[in-house]
């Protein structure tokens, strides 16, 4: 079993999605905040935004959808959870093997050396510049950047060998993540869980029109019965 999740699974934890009503890309400029060029141009603006998101992640709690996936992992010998989210809610719900395709907001990394620092308390504005001459940046994947190759290959392999793939809470607009549910899912039976139609809906085997926090617990209950 492989599962691919997007920001929709965290919406019932109170975190905004990106492209829906109230989504982050409706109220913020992507190229200013989530790109290497935007960071180069104004690192303090970018850190102000990511400190706000990190604080929101801290405040949020895993919801019934995250919890159901954490319990579902014990029902399958081979279960891989692949997420596009950087909010760490799957890990806080108890999921063990989580492939974070777009990184996470638990740490910052230096652009000039291998130094890393925790983002437990956010990034202080006077600590962005590192003694090596580099700058601390969020350890996540920005638009135009490659995914971490080890994570991507593990996600592709999990998708290719899966018998069943759940695609939960993603619009399927961002590649290569979305390709895990189409060209890289081998012979898997693909089930989409989303209250709305997405760019993937035409390609999946079944669409369950509902929210993650409702459908996933029901799915878990049926798997256990
Ligand atoms: N349960 C399930 N799905 C939901 C719920 C819910 N309660 N609420 C919203 N959704 C769905 C929406 O219908 C939408 O299809 O979640 C999806 C969110 O889509 P996006 O906002 O595009 O987020 P996502 O697919 O995660 O974006 C992928 O784009 O901006 C980049 O790096 C960012 O990881 C992100 C990537």
Confirm or reject: Cβ of 84 under 6 Å from ligand 1: yes
Q: Which CATH number applies to 2-224?
A: 3.40.50.1220
* pLDDT value at 97 more than 90: no
pLDDT bucket at 30, cuts 50 / 70 / 90: confident
Residue 116 CA: distances (Å) to CA of 27, 105, 110, 111, 225: 30, 12, 6, 10, 45
Per-residue model confidence (pLDDT) at position 20: 82
- Per-domain boundaries in the chain: 2-224
Contact indicator for 66, 91 with CB cutoff of 8 Å: no
Full-prediction pTM beyond 0.85?
yes
Tokens standing for residue 22: 């109230």
Confirm or reject: Cβ of 196 under 6 Å from ligand 1: yes
- Residues assigned a catalytic role: 102
Per-residue model confidence (pLDDT) at position 186: 85
User: Which atom of ligand 1 is least distant from the CA of 198?
Assistant: 15
Per-residue pLDDT of 113-140, as tens digits, reads: 999 999 999 999 999 999 999 999 999 9
Tokens standing for residue 218: 């029901």
Per-residue model confidence (pLDDT) at position 26: 81
Confirm or reject: Cβ of 106 under 6 Å from ligand 1: no
């Amino acid at each position: 079993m492989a599962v691919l999740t997007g920001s929709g699974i965290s919406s019932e934890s109170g975190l905004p999605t990106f492209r829906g009503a109230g989504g982050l890309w409706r109220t913020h400029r992507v190229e200013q905040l989530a790109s290497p060029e935007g960071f180069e141009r104004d690192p303090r603006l970018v850190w102000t935004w990511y400190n706000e998101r990190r604080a929101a992640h801290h405040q949020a709690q895993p919801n019934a959808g995250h919890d159901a996936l954490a319990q579902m992992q014990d029902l399958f010998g081979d279960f891989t959870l692949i997420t596009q989210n950087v909010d760490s809610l799957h890990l806080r719900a108890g999921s063990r093997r989580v492939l974070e395709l777009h990184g996470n907001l638990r740490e910052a990394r230096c652009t000039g050396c291998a130094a890393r620092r925790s983002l437990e308390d956010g990034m202080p504005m006077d600590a962005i510049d590192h003694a090596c001459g580099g700058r601390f940046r969020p350890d996540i994947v920005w638009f135009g950047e490659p995914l971490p190759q080890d994570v991507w290959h593990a996600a592709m392999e999990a998708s290719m060998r899966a018998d069943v793939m759940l695609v939960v809470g993603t619009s399927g607009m961002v590649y290569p993540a979305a390709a895990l549910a189409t060209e890289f899912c081998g012979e898997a039976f693909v089930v989409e869980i989303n209250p709305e139609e997405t760019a993937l809906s035409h390609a999946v085997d079944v669409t369950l029109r509902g929210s993650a926090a409702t459908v996933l617990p029901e799915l878990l209950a049926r798997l256990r019965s």
